[in-house]
Amino acid sequence: MIKMLHKMGIKSEHAYIAGVASIGLSIASWVMSKNAKGSALDRADRWGIFVGEWAPTFFALGVALRIEETHRDLEKESEADMLQRSTGARQPAHSGA
Protein backbone atom coordinates (compact mmCIF):
# COMPACT_ATOMS: atom_id res chain seq x y z
CA MET A 1 0.00 0.00 0.00
CA ILE A 2 2.86 2.39 0.82
CA LYS A 3 4.49 1.72 -2.54
CA MET A 4 1.17 2.45 -4.25
CA LEU A 5 0.82 5.77 -2.37
CA HIS A 6 4.40 6.64 -3.28
CA LYS A 7 3.77 5.85 -6.95
CA MET A 8 0.65 8.05 -6.83
CA GLY A 9 2.91 10.97 -5.90
CA ILE A 10 1.98 11.24 -2.24
CA LYS A 11 5.04 12.28 -0.26
CA SER A 12 5.80 12.01 3.43
CA GLU A 13 5.42 15.78 3.78
CA HIS A 14 1.80 15.47 2.62
CA ALA A 15 1.05 12.95 5.36
CA TYR A 16 2.77 15.10 8.01
CA ILE A 17 0.74 18.14 6.92
CA ALA A 18 -2.44 16.06 7.09
CA GLY A 19 -1.50 14.99 10.64
CA VAL A 20 -0.99 18.56 11.80
CA ALA A 21 -4.20 19.63 10.04
CA SER A 22 -6.02 16.81 11.82
CA ILE A 23 -4.91 18.16 15.18
CA GLY A 24 -6.15 21.63 14.25
CA LEU A 25 -9.41 20.24 12.88
CA SER A 26 -9.87 18.24 16.08
CA ILE A 27 -9.64 21.39 18.17
CA ALA A 28 -11.89 23.33 15.79
CA SER A 29 -14.54 20.60 15.70
CA TRP A 30 -14.49 20.36 19.50
CA VAL A 31 -14.96 24.12 19.88
CA MET A 32 -17.71 24.29 17.24
CA SER A 33 -19.54 21.30 18.70
CA LYS A 34 -19.21 22.68 22.22
CA ASN A 35 -20.65 26.04 21.17
CA ALA A 36 -23.55 24.53 19.18
CA LYS A 37 -26.97 25.16 20.67
CA GLY A 38 -28.50 22.28 22.53
CA SER A 39 -25.40 20.09 22.45
CA ALA A 40 -23.74 18.61 25.47
CA LEU A 41 -20.06 18.56 26.28
CA ASP A 42 -20.05 14.79 25.64
CA ARG A 43 -20.85 15.37 21.96
CA ALA A 44 -18.03 17.90 21.63
CA ASP A 45 -15.60 15.50 23.26
CA ARG A 46 -16.62 12.67 20.91
CA TRP A 47 -16.15 14.82 17.81
CA GLY A 48 -12.78 16.13 19.00
CA ILE A 49 -11.54 12.64 19.84
CA PHE A 50 -12.88 11.16 16.58
CA VAL A 51 -11.03 13.65 14.41
CA GLY A 52 -7.99 13.66 16.70
CA GLU A 53 -7.54 9.92 16.18
CA TRP A 54 -6.63 10.56 12.54
CA ALA A 55 -3.38 12.36 13.42
CA PRO A 56 -1.37 9.29 14.53
CA THR A 57 -2.42 7.45 11.39
CA PHE A 58 -1.25 10.30 9.17
CA PHE A 59 2.05 10.56 11.06
CA ALA A 60 2.61 6.79 10.77
CA LEU A 61 1.92 6.99 7.03
CA GLY A 62 4.38 9.86 6.83
CA VAL A 63 7.09 7.78 8.48
CA ALA A 64 6.37 4.82 6.19
CA LEU A 65 6.47 7.06 3.13
CA ARG A 66 9.74 8.62 4.32
CA ILE A 67 11.25 5.13 4.58
CA GLU A 68 9.98 4.33 1.07
CA GLU A 69 11.47 7.57 -0.28
CA THR A 70 14.80 6.88 1.39
CA HIS A 71 14.77 3.30 0.15
CA ARG A 72 14.13 4.47 -3.42
CA ASP A 73 16.90 7.07 -3.19
CA LEU A 74 19.34 4.46 -1.89
CA GLU A 75 18.41 2.09 -4.74
CA LYS A 76 19.06 4.82 -7.30
CA GLU A 77 22.43 5.64 -5.72
CA SER A 78 23.38 1.95 -5.65
CA GLU A 79 22.45 1.55 -9.31
CA ALA A 80 24.47 4.65 -10.22
CA ASP A 81 27.47 3.40 -8.22
CA MET A 82 27.29 -0.04 -9.84
CA LEU A 83 27.04 1.54 -13.29
CA GLN A 84 30.00 3.80 -12.57
CA ARG A 85 32.08 0.90 -11.29
CA SER A 86 31.20 -1.30 -14.25
CA THR A 87 32.02 1.41 -16.80
CA GLY A 88 35.21 2.27 -14.92
CA ALA A 89 36.37 -1.35 -15.00
CA ARG A 90 35.77 -1.60 -18.73
CA GLN A 91 37.96 1.34 -19.67
CA PRO A 92 41.07 0.16 -21.48
CA ALA A 93 44.35 0.64 -19.67
CA HIS A 94 46.73 3.07 -21.35
CA SER A 95 50.13 1.58 -21.87
CA GLY A 96 53.11 3.77 -22.40
CA ALA A 97 54.93 1.92 -25.22
Q: Give the pLDDT of the chain (97 residues) as one tens digit per residue.
A: 888 998 899 999 999 999 999 999 988 888 887 777 666 777 778 878 888 899 999 999 999 999 998 887 777 777 777 777 777 655 555 555 5
70 assigned to some structural domain = yes
Q: CA-CA distance, 22 to 79, in Å (whole number)?
A: 39
Q: Residue 33 belongs to what domain range?
A: 2-86
96 assigned to some structural domain = no
Q: Could you tell me the pTM of the whole model?
A: 0.67
**Overall domain count for the chain:** 1
62 assigned to some structural domain = yes
95 assigned to some structural domain = no
DSSP state string for 32-90: HHHHSTT--HHHHHHHHHHHHTHHHHHHHHHHHHHHHHHHHHHHHHHHHHHHHHHHHHH
93 assigned to some structural domain = no
74 assigned to some structural domain = yes
Residues 16, 59: contact at Cβ < 8 Å? yes
